[in-house]
Amino acid sequence: MLRIVFLLLCVTFVEGGAIKPIPDKVAVNTQKAALGKKLFFDPLLSKDNTVSCATCHVLEEGGDDGLKYSFGVGGAQGSRNAPTVLNAVFNFRQFWDGRAKDLKAQAKSPIVNPKEMGDRFKPIIEKLQHHPEYKKRFNSIYPDGITSENIADAIAEYEKTLITPNGAFDRYLKGDKTAISKEAKHGYALFKEKGCILCHNGVNVGGNLFNRFGVYHDANGTDFGRYNVTGREDDKYVFKVPSLRNVARTAPYMHDGRFKKLRDAVSFMTEYQLGRYMEPEEIDAIVAFLETLNGTLPSNRSIRP
Amino acid sequence: MKQKLGNWQKSTERFSLLLSFFFLLLLGLAGYLVKINQDIKNYTEYHHTLNEMRTLDYKLDNCFSQLYRYINYDKTAMLEKKFESALTILQEKNGKLAYGKALQARIGEIAQVYTKKKTYFEDFKALNARVTNSLHFLYDMRKTLEKRLREGSYQAVLVDNIFFGISQIVMNIPSNDKKISQQLEMLSHTQTNRHLGYFIQHSRQFLNDAAKLKKVQKGAKKIPLRQKINLLLDDLTQKYEKDRRYQEDIAFGFFSFAFVILALLIFSYRRIRQNTRELQAFRYAIENSDNAIMLTDTQRHIEYVNEAFEKYTGYSKEEVMGKDPRILKSGLMPREAYDDMNETIGRGEIWQGELINRRKDGSILYEKASIVPVIMEGEVVKYLAVKLDITDYKEQQQRLKQAATVYRTMGDGVLITDKEKRILSVNPAFVNIFGYTEKELIGSKPMVIKTLEEDAYFFHQVWSQLLAKDRWSGKLYNQAKDGTVLPIWLTLTVVRDEKGEIENFIVIYTDLQEIMATQERAEFLAYHDSLTKLPNRAYFDLHIEDFLSFADIANEKVAIFFIDLDRFKVINDTLGHGIGDIMLKELSKRIRDVLDENMLFARIGGDEFVIVARLKEGRKEAAAIAETVLSLIREPVQASNYTLNTTASIGIVVYPDDTKNKFDIVKFADSAMYAAKEGGKDNYHFYNEQLSQNVQLRLDMEQEMLHAIEHNEFSLVFQPQYDLHTYKIVGMEVLLRWKNRKLGTVLPDAFISIAEETGMIVRLGYYVLEQACLTQARILKMGFTLETVAVNVSAIQFRDENFIENLKQILKRTGIPATMLEIEITERFIMEYSTTNMTILEELRGLGCRISIDDFGTGYSSMSYMKALPLDTIKIDKSFITELPYDMHDVEVCKAIIALSKSLGYQVVAEGIEKREQEVFLKENGCDVGQGYYFARPMPEKEFVTFLRKHHSQL
């Protein structure tokens, strides 16, 4: 009798299509995107004209900066690891604590964060107003010209283009059975079997729910995470489950960048989140699978700033 | 009319006001419909959104039920995103919709409730992932534990029980969680291995999370999200329906209103149509009015004129549009008339009066005009001029006025009667002529003016002709009031009316008495000289024939005397016409008095008289008459303070001995008179055939002379003038020779006078001047020094008005300085043309020419002339030289002339020196220059040059 019950449970587990390939293209307004690109790379948006979006989100290096914590204007250091900008469009909320509901809402934040770009919108708008090209382009796109909303909108529009389709695993999903190694295939099976897939699913392999950091053990975190946003006791140590796309490129790991190696991160996750033990070969196989999640980095030429 | 116009204007204003209002209404309605449409669209969208939200909520709830299962969270995230965007639409749309605060509050509630539900949902997602993981793990673990645990052992029983409990929870079978926890507790106190430890850990975790999950599920179920959405949906629908009803009411209101306005519009339109028709009728009346009608704006620019205007003025509409009516101004109106007009219409009153304007063709147009300021709403908006062409009337009036003036002022008496021949009116002249006053005559018959010829037959004749021809005129005698019988030229005229019935008789009395007197006097004046009262040339021409035919009948001879006063012109010129006239009157009286009455004595020219006398005894008798006349003339005449001596020359022709032709008589007599003059004046000369021959010779000469210059028949000869003391040749006098192929050599004395008479002298004169100058130029070129070249110039030449200019040209052409040219004029010329030609002499002097007087001493030289004239040289006439030094008279004259000239500073030249003793005398008496055969004869140019050369070498 017990057996029957668990068989039923098992059926739900084997359900296919848990991970979807990244689409080749996301529809964008190219004019806005072009303007957004210019803004993304322009340190003008920072208080001392030294830091741009691209300072921390280095596109060639996986959409982040490879640092535990990023440095903002005047050398100020942040308190969370910079998440990648790549494929961020597919996340259901932005930031580790999910406080921004979309890219546009997110884009405003680093600009005015004193530890990041440390600027305010009023002087930025003034700076842009004195820049004839920005003035012209904003006016041609937006009826109300240069505003904080429109700046964020343009940047968000550009960020929509920062996707990494055509990864080896996506090709595999699309039917190319040779696209990934046997070990990686084994890793994918383990990924599903061991329960990783329960949180890391969908297009972005994660990024579509929150969960507690340290379920079976205390993860020794100092950051209350989502509690800072909601104030609910239940939300303490709760973070957005991050996307595993390009995960091999986005070390260090965790919201506090505590692991430099992917293997360590996987091992930690197994124990703390899944409450399991995995053999080292199994962890290797999963890492091999995760490495197939690297997609084609967005071409810098796709959008002209 | 004005009122109509006002009505019409008001109607049209109301009409356009209504029309614009109507359009505004339609526009409003259209706008409102658009708004309603938008509302419906918004409502549909809103409704749709809310429905979608409801669906999404169902889906969310569905997720909540997917407990203990793997869930692809992309799908759930999609639900959230969709719901959120729908919510955004609601929130954003709400601002645009006028759905009120109630709905806004509801939307707020929805957002709030959704946030709560979302929180449950996020918890659910996290917990579900965890419980699913635990279940998964436990399932894995069960096999391992089955292998590791002994069947039926305490531990195995506990594990089995725990599994059973978990299964119950998973299948939602009521379970005892406490019991499971106790069994887990009991299991944990047994000897455990690693696997059992994981089992316990996960089971505990599961129990914990499943409990939480149940709570979350329960909490979520309590969230009234769907109720809130439904409430909003209800509210929305209600509100919408309310709005629709309201909108329907408003639309209906609009339509009703539009209908009313449309009705008003139609009504208004009909009124305008009616007004328009009336105005069209007015317009038709204006167009076709006999009155010229003109409409101007306040700035007096013509806006309208009718056809009558065009007809009256000759201007077309197009020509006058926009112009000022002043284009019609004739300038014949006094300024005050316009001032009055402007002042009147300026006050807004109607001006009426007459205008004198001008048509396009310039003719005068009289108009009776009314100028009306058109006032609308208290303001002058236009001027209307209504004018009637009264030119014909005016002109007729003028003609009547003229006729009346003629009637009043004419010299003829006019009498007007009615058809019964009763006098209606007489004019002042009638009163003057007959002495009756108008009062005395009115009503009576014209027969009061009795005629002497009371002949019944005569009157019958007059009547019948008058009635037949409506006019009669003839001479008769009437008697004035005082009894005087007057010769009258009577004109009777009948005035008939349109039917031809007699209306009036008009009788015009022309008093012939005065006319007859005037006629006699005119006749006398026509045939008599007013100065001497002698018959004039016309009389002579008229009566000579009578004389001659009478003589023919009587077989008598008739002598015709042609009398010409010698030098009468001099008297006239020097003493004035008044003196001349006194002399003529005196002389004619003297002659008249001695002549027989039968003789005809006439003055036929200024100083020419004719006597026609019948001869009983022949030529002797004629000579006696001539002698008598000459003696009468010779006697001094006392005129004013002058005692004048004059003589006459008389030519006599005897008819029919000399000629039978009446026309020849005068001609022959003239020739005879000239013969007498040439014979030394103060005598008479009978005509003979020789004289006629001379006349023929003159005619031949005239004929030949015409082409003499072209035929090179004229030639110049030069006579040297030399200094009597040094014998140096100082100049030459140019003399003219004519050698004709028919007439042979003609002497200057003969042909010069003819040339002067025919005017040929002018051309000839220039020819001589030019040739003389050319010769002088050639001589000078040869190296001789001749001071002057003297050329005789005729008085006639000076009459050519271009003389001075032509002379200048000649001098310029030939290159001879004016100072070298000496113009010789005759003493006679000075005497005859003293005043008129003084200026010419002055001009010649002005040019630099020298002037000499030729033949000095033969005329009437006057000391005063000599002093006044601009002279250089005096030439003593050769008649004074010939008898020198033996004739004492000539000696004295020469001495006197030389002395006189010297005293006046003139050079003296003696001409015609033929003998040595003459030269000696002149030299001794101080004469400067000589000229004559003794020194050298006149020579052609070639000889003259040879002479010069020879003479020069001798000196």
Measured between beta carbons, the chain A residues lying within 8 angstroms of B70 are 12-13, 15, 18, 197-198, 201
Confidence of residue A4 (pLDDT cuts 50, 70, 90): very low
- pLDDT for residue B833: 53
- pLDDT for residue B146: 80
- pLDDT for residue B864: 64
* pLDDT, tens only, B898-918: 988 888 888 999 999 999 999
Return the DSSP state at A271: I
- pLDDT for residue A303: 58
Instruction: State whether B126 and A209 contact (CB < 8 Å).
Output: yes
| CB contacts < 8 A (A, B) | 98
Give the end of a domain, one of A128, A159, A190. Answer: A159
* Res. B732: pLDDT tops 80: yes
- Among B794, B721, B811, B723, smallest CA distance to B754 is for B794
CB-based burial label for B669 (10 Å; 0-12, 13-18, 19+): buried
Q: Where are the alpha helices (DSSP H) in B787-880?
A: 795-799, 803-814, 827-832, 834-847, 863-868
Residues A37 and A138 in one domain: yes
Give the end of a domain, one of A159, A188, A211. Answer: A159
* pLDDT, tens only, B286-322: 888 888 888 888 888 998 888 888 888 888 888 888 8
Q: How far apart are CA B107 and CA B102, in angstroms?
A: 9
Q: How far apart are CA B34 and CA B26, in angstroms?
A: 12
* pLDDT, tens only, A228-255: 989 998 899 999 999 999 999 988 999 9
Residues A111 and A64 in one domain: yes
Classify residue A296: in a domain, yes or no. Answer: no
Residues A149 and A55 in one domain: yes
Instruction: State whether B72 and A201 contact (CB < 8 Å).
Output: yes
Confidence of residue A203 (pLDDT cuts 50, 70, 90): very high
Q: Which of B84, B132, B139 has its CB closest to that of A6?
A: B139
Q: How far apart are CA B668 and CA B674, in angstroms?
A: 10
* Res. A265: pLDDT tops 90: yes
- Give the rounded distance of the alpha carbon of B744 from its chain centre: 67
* pLDDT, tens only, B420-440: 888 888 888 888 888 888 888
Confidence of residue B812 (pLDDT cuts 50, 70, 90): very high
- pLDDT for residue A5: 46
* pLDDT, tens only, A117-170: 877 888 888 888 999 899 999 999 999 989 989 999 999 999 999 999 999 999
* pLDDT, tens only, B583-635: 899 999 999 888 888 888 999 888 889 999 888 878 888 888 999 999 999 88
Q: How far apart are CA B798 and CA B838, in angstroms?
A: 11
Average pLDDT, chain B: 85
Classify residue A278: in a domain, yes or no. Answer: yes
The packing angle between helices B154-170 and B194-222, to 10°, is: 20
Residue among B65, B72, B118, B198 with most chain A CBs within 10 A, to mutate: B72
- pLDDT for residue A285: 94
Classify residue A200: in a domain, yes or no. Answer: yes
* pLDDT, tens only, B514-569: 788 888 888 888 888 888 888 988 888 888 888 888 888 888 888 999 999 887 87
Residues A42 and A138 in one domain: yes
- pLDDT for residue B837: 65
Confidence of residue A1 (pLDDT cuts 50, 70, 90): very low
* Res. A301: pLDDT tops 70: no
Residues A34 and A154 in one domain: yes
* Res. B9: pLDDT tops 90: no
Q: Is B203 on the interface with A (CB under 8 A)?
A: no
Measured between beta carbons, the chain A residues lying within 8 angstroms of B76 are 208-209
Number of domains in chain A: 2
Classify residue A254: in a domain, yes or no. Answer: yes
Classify residue A304: in a domain, yes or no. Answer: no
- Across B512-634, where does the E strand assignment appear? 557-565, 600-603, 608-615
**Residue with the larger pLDDT of the pair B538 and B92:** B538
Q: Is 0.85 exceeded by the ipTM?
A: yes
Asked if B229 contacts B36 with a C-beta cutoff of 8 angstroms, the reply is: no
- pLDDT for residue A11: 42
Measured between beta carbons, the chain B residues lying within 8 angstroms of A92 are 73-74, 77, 80-81
* pLDDT, tens only, B161-191: 888 888 888 888 887 888 888 988 888 888 7
Confidence of residue B341 (pLDDT cuts 50, 70, 90): confident
- Give the rounded distance of the alpha carbon of B215 from its chain centre: 116
- pLDDT for residue B95: 54
Q: How far apart are CA B321 and CA B326, in angstroms?
A: 13
Residues A224 and A126 in one domain: no
Q: Is B72 on the interface with A (CB under 8 A)?
A: yes
Measured between beta carbons, the chain A residues lying within 8 angstroms of B81 are 92
- pLDDT for residue A243: 93
> What is the average per-residue pLDDT within B668-680?
83
Classify residue A303: in a domain, yes or no. Answer: no
Classify residue A48: in a domain, yes or no. Answer: yes
Q: Is B136 on the interface with A (CB under 8 A)?
A: yes
- Among A190, A221, A219, smallest CA distance to A284 is for A190
Q: How far apart are CA B340 and CA A8, in angstroms?
A: 124
Confidence of residue B93 (pLDDT cuts 50, 70, 90): low
Share above pLDDT 90 across residues of chain B, in percent, rounded to a whole number: 15
- pLDDT for residue B650: 92
Confidence of residue B840 (pLDDT cuts 50, 70, 90): confident
How crowded is residue B900: how many other Cβ atoms within 10 Å of its Cβ? 16
Residues A184 and A137 in one domain: no
> What is the average per-residue pLDDT within A67-87?
85
Q: Which of A:104-143 have CB within 8 Å of B? A: none
- Among B559, B554, B546, B543, smallest CA distance to B659 is for B559
Give the end of a domain, one of A123, A141, A159. Answer: A159
Domain that holds residue A256: 2-23+164-291
Find residue B295's DSSP bridge partners: B304, B384
Residues A95 and A172 in one domain: no
Q: Do strands B788-792 and B821-826 pair parallel, antiparallel, or not at all (unpaired)?
A: parallel
> What is the average per-residue pLDDT within A105-109?
88
> What is the average per-residue pLDDT within B256-281?
88
Confidence of residue A49 (pLDDT cuts 50, 70, 90): confident
User: What would the two tokens of residue A27 be?
Assistant: 């529809």
* Res. A14: pLDDT tops 50: no
Counting every residue written for chain B, the total comes to 955
- Among B703, B709, B673, smallest CA distance to B691 is for B673
Q: How far A132 CA lies from chain B's nearest CA (Å)?
A: 33
Confidence of residue B282 (pLDDT cuts 50, 70, 90): confident
- pLDDT for residue B37: 85
Residues A168 and A251 in one domain: yes
Give the three-class secondary structure for B925. Answer: coil
How crowded is residue B606: how many other Cβ atoms within 10 Å of its Cβ? 13
* Res. B769: pLDDT tops 90: yes
Classify residue A55: in a domain, yes or no. Answer: yes
Instruction: State whether B74 and A201 contact (CB < 8 Å).
Output: yes
Decide if A116 is catalytic.
Answer: yes
Residues A212 and A101 in one domain: no
> What is the average per-residue pLDDT within B210-226?
90
Confidence of residue B831 (pLDDT cuts 50, 70, 90): low
Average pLDDT, chain A: 86
- pLDDT for residue B283: 81
Q: Where are the alpha helices (DSSP H) in B410-529?
A: 428-434, 438-441, 456-469, 512-527
Return the DSSP state at A269: I
Asked if B894 contacts B925 with a C-beta cutoff of 8 angstroms, the reply is: yes
Residues A248 and A173 in one domain: yes
Asked if A164 contacts A22 with a C-beta cutoff of 8 angstroms, the reply is: yes
Measured between beta carbons, the chain A residues lying within 8 angstroms of B199 are none
> What is the average per-residue pLDDT within A71-84?
84
A277: domain CATH number?
1.10.760.10
CB burial of B867-898 (b: ≥16 within 10 Å; e: otherwise) equals: eebebbbbbbbbebbeebbeeeebbebbeebb
- Name the catalytic one among A116, A157, A159, A282: A116
Q: Which of B74, B129, B167 has its CB closest to that of A20?
A: B74
Residues A191 and A222 in one domain: yes
